[in-house]
Amino acid sequence: MWSKVLIFLQQLIQLLRNLRAWLWARLSPLLARLLAPFCRYEVETLKGRRLVWDFYPLVMAGFTLLFVAIIIYVIRFSYSSEGARYRAAAERVQREKRVQDLPLRGSILASDERPVAVTTPVYRLGLDFLSEPLKVLYAPLPTGKTHQDSLERAKYYTTRQELDYGLDRLAVLIDSIYDLKAHGLSRQQLKARWRKGLEQRKRGLPVINLDVSYQQYQILMASSPFAPKIIKNKRVPSLLSKMIISTERTKRIYPFGSLAYRTIGQLQPSGENNISKGKSGLELRYDYLLRGRIGSARRVYYGNSYRRIVDEPALDGADIVTNLDMDIQSIVEHALREQLQQLEAESGTVVLMEVKTGKIVAISNLEQVKRSPGTYSESVNMAMT
């Protein structure tokens, strides 16, 4: 039986070979006539002129047709419903955005160059519960018994365990920095809010509704659960470091509190061009020096993250040095408040000047607070009106 099958296969192979030879004998002259104008030309040799075949034009024509076919496919795909969906996603995620490069407002300094008004960066921190590492928690947990299903389950439980541990450590860290009891909060309340954000898949859920100073930000990023882990002598980013979203802004700080409050002045809320302007006192008088100049930048999506590219850097504001002596200012304000309370006066002003130079080293304006007899605060700069 097997010998008959073998003989049949040999005959079939021979038949196919004969068919191929017959087709080539019939078609080769036709192909030669078709390709001759493009691939055959005459050359001069020692033995005379003879025909030479050159398939380079044919190969180039094939590549050209392939390239044109790819372009047609891309154009058809771009204008299809699927292409429209991808275009919308690209516009939403990767579109370049023009932003401002804001300057740092200059500082106001006392006569000994201690800052009495200074701008410092502050941060607001948020947790992104839609970040890439957490997507495994939202996918259906496989119940099969294959090796891949086992790996998926192990990844799910490992990620969940690391997230729970990270949130516990974060609550302890926040409590050590802010003293949650002083703000009417507890670790349990924070963790409950974060876990609710996980259930609702929040993006940018505030870690805590308080500003984080630059020093505090550095401490947070260098501490567990944000600090990288060491695995096999390699630094591996922690899970929470991939979830954190930080928003930076600037804040005007007055280290001496209410001392010379009206003299130093205050700022208006950020308005036009997102830059603060002086509202009163020295902040208003020298606003043109303090505010600096706005630059320009671009916010682009690159490498699965947003990057800020500065085209024209901002010019930070200038610092100004005053003649104010904050030690004398404290003594003057304390003495004026005592006298006003003894006399039950409505208001009082003290201007302390250096006789030899005419420098004003302290100014205090105190006025009785309405509905609170015996309490005085700076309200109007009466010395200058």
Q: Is domain 98-114+255-320 classified as CATH 3.90.1310.10?
A: yes
Of residues 92 and 19, more confidently modeled: 19
Of residues 59 and 357, more confidently modeled: 357
Determine the pLDDT at residue 29. 65
The pLDDT-based confidence of 303 (bands split at 50, 70, 90) is low
Smallest Cα–Cα separation from 260: which of 85, 117, 81?
Answer: 117
Determine the pLDDT at residue 114. 94
Determine the pLDDT at residue 335. 93
Per-residue model confidence as pLDDT tens digits over 160-189: 999 999 999 999 999 998 888 888 889 999
Range with the poorest average pLDDT among 8-22, 83-97, 320-334:
83-97
Q: Do the Cβ atoms of 110 and 326 come closer than 8 Å?
A: yes
Residue 199: alpha-carbon gap to chain centroid: 24
Q: How many residues in the chain?
A: 385
Q: Which residues are paired to 53 by β-bridges?
A: 40
**What CA–CA distance (Å, rounded) separates 302 from 300?**
6
Q: Would residue 120 be called left, alpha or beta, if left means φ above 0 and alpha means ψ between -120 and 50 degrees?
A: beta
Determine the pLDDT at residue 319. 94
Range with the poorest average pLDDT among 25-34, 277-286, 352-361:
25-34
Range with the poorest average pLDDT among 25-34, 108-117, 160-169, 199-208:
25-34
Q: What percent of the chain has pLDDT over 70?
A: 82
Task: Give, as one character, the DSSP assignment of residue 180.
Answer: G
**What CA–CA distance (Å, rounded) separates 179 from 216?**
13
Would you say residue 24 has pLDDT above 70? Answer: no
Sign of the CA dihedral 7, 12, 13, 14?
positive
Tell me what the mean pLDDT of segment 280-305 comes to.
83
Per-residue model confidence as pLDDT tens digits over 129-142: 888 888 888 888 88
**What CA–CA distance (Å, rounded) separates 264 from 282?**
5
Of residues 61 and 238, more confidently modeled: 238
3-state secondary structure 82-132: HHHHHHHHHHHHCCCEEEEECCCCCCEECCCCCEEEEEEEEEEEEEECCCH
Would you say residue 260 has pLDDT above 60? Answer: yes
Would you say residue 331 has pLDDT above 90? Answer: yes
User: What are the boundaries of each domain within the chain?
Assistant: 98-114+255-320, 119-252, 326-384
Average pLDDT over all residues of the chain:
82
Would you say residue 154 has pLDDT above 80? Answer: yes
Determine the pLDDT at residue 48. 55
**What CA–CA distance (Å, rounded) separates 208 from 126?**
8
**pTM attached to this predicted model:** 0.62
In degrees, to the nearest 5, what angle opens at C-alpha 278 toward C-alphas 273 and 284? 135
Tell me what the mean pLDDT of segment 204-231 comes to.
87
* In the chain, alpha helices (H): 2-39, 56-78, 81-93, 135-138, 147-178, 187-199, 214-222, 239-243, 261-264, 281-285, 287-290, 326-343
